[in-house]
Amino acid sequence: MSLLLNYNDPRFIKLAQLIFEEQFKRDHKHESEMDERRKRLMYDDVVYNLSFLMTSVYFSDEKIFEGYARWFFDLLCNLTKDLDREKIMEQMLDHYKIMSEILAGHASVILSEDELKRAAEYLELAARVTVSAVTDIALSSSFLEGKYLEIRKAYLDALLTSQTRKAHDMISGARKQGVPLEDIYEEILKKVMHEIGDLWHRNVITVDKEHYATSVTQTVMSDFYDEIFERPRRSRTLVACAVGNELHEMGIRMLSDIFEYQGWDTVYLGAALPESAILEAVGEHKPDLVALSVTMPPYLSVCEKIVRSIRAAYPDVKIAVGGQAFRDTDELWKKWEINFYSASAGDLARWAQDTITP
């Protein structure tokens, strides 16, 4: 049997040990974080990885190690649910790099020059497969349907791999290519954020990745502020907010931006606003339209009460409600004294454009 495939050969074992030890030298946390059992499992993984690589090299068949790299990445993701896919990817990339360096420095005793070259190539291939596995995930049908799928997917991929600059460039590039602002908001950013929520719900991403995606998307939206606030004015005022203890405010902020873009003066009050503050703001700004947003169903009753209070205090003001909380109701909004409900911000903007003329 070739030395490559004799996993009991002391030279093979030596290589595995060197790789294993190098992992600890590069990341001191391993020593304090791992008990003896975890260390043994990690050593077994190193032996396993090396044996797959050697088999691949022996047969000059890159597919063996390529398929293994993908399988191993998925296995780690399933076993370590508390770690984000991107973090697992980084660990695997470090591991492949260490393998490559140790082989280059110490494996000439068991590998020919050609075999060493192949081993280095296969390790690079494994790294590439691992990077693409981070973004290669099952996506919902609502994400996959509709215009701009390519941009949407590229933006999502940039968020999943923490490429902030790329995420910004993706969206500013789309705008420069002529994608309307409303489509950027509703077809790209909204759908990506809904998908991010789904991925969190399915435990594909951890909560820190969800928070990161939220903050990047908020700053991406801010990139449009110069453009939004430069538009001609229409002497119409909107007061907008999310009610109750609702912290989800990106949807109503998008709505506000779309109105501002259409020339309205918008007073965007953010999230978690108490009823008294909303009534005060309506009294102060005398808006033509009040838009109230609810994402979490438990705040629907708060919203209903606010609608009644605004109606009683300001009978002429137009009121619109929306947000995901209404989506799974039996058309609840029909029972309220409101002027408009829609699942999308753009629909309200079009209705307001036609109904509330200057």
User: What part of residues 205-234 is at the interface with ligand B12 (CB under 6 A)?
Assistant: 210-211, 214
| C-beta atoms surrounding 26 within 10 Å | 12
Is residue 247 close enough to count as binding ligand B12 by CB under 6 A? yes
Is residue 156 close enough to count as binding ligand B12 by CB under 6 A? no
The answer to whether 121 and 57 are in contact (CB under 8 A) is: no
Is residue 287 close enough to count as binding ligand B12 by CB under 6 A? no
Query: How many residues sit in the footprint of ligand B12 (CB under 6 A)?
Result: 35
Contact range with ligand B12 by CB under 6 A, out of 75-83, 100-108, 141-149, 190-198: 190-198
Kindly state the smallest distance separating residue 40's Cβ from ligand B12, in Å.
36
Three-state SS for 149?
helix
Is residue 252 close enough to count as binding ligand B12 by CB under 6 A? yes
Is residue 245 close enough to count as binding ligand B12 by CB under 6 A? yes
Nearest to 204 by CA among 246, 151, 156, 144: 156
Euclidean distance between CA atoms 331 and 123, whole angstroms: 56
C-alpha of 216 from chain center:
9
When the beta carbons of 22 and 187 are compared against ligand B12, the nearer one is 187
Three-state SS for 193?
helix
When the beta carbons of 172 and 324 are compared against ligand B12, the nearer one is 324
When the beta carbons of 17 and 237 are compared against ligand B12, the nearer one is 237
Is residue 16 close enough to count as binding ligand B12 by CB under 6 A? no
Kindly state the smallest distance separating residue 329's Cβ from ligand B12, in Å.
11
Among 11, 201, 233, 308, binds ligand B12 (CB under 6 A): 201
When the beta carbons of 130 and 295 are compared against ligand B12, the nearer one is 295
**Residues whose CB falls within 8 Å of the CB of residue 282, separated by 6 or more in sequence, listed in order:** 239, 290, 310, 313, 314, 317
Residue 321 to residues 194, 268, 337, Cα–Cα distance (Å): 19, 15, 10
Is residue 320 close enough to count as binding ligand B12 by CB under 6 A? yes
The answer to whether 260 and 289 are in contact (CB under 8 A) is: no
The owner of tokens 């229409």 is: 234
Kindly state the smallest distance separating residue 90's Cβ from ligand B12, in Å.
23
When the beta carbons of 58 and 143 are compared against ligand B12, the nearer one is 143
Helix axes 85-106, 113-135, angle to 10 degrees: 170
Binding site for ligand B12 (CB under 6 A): 186, 190, 193-194, 196-198, 201, 210-211, 214, 245-252, 254-255, 291-293, 295-296, 320-324, 342, 344-345, 348
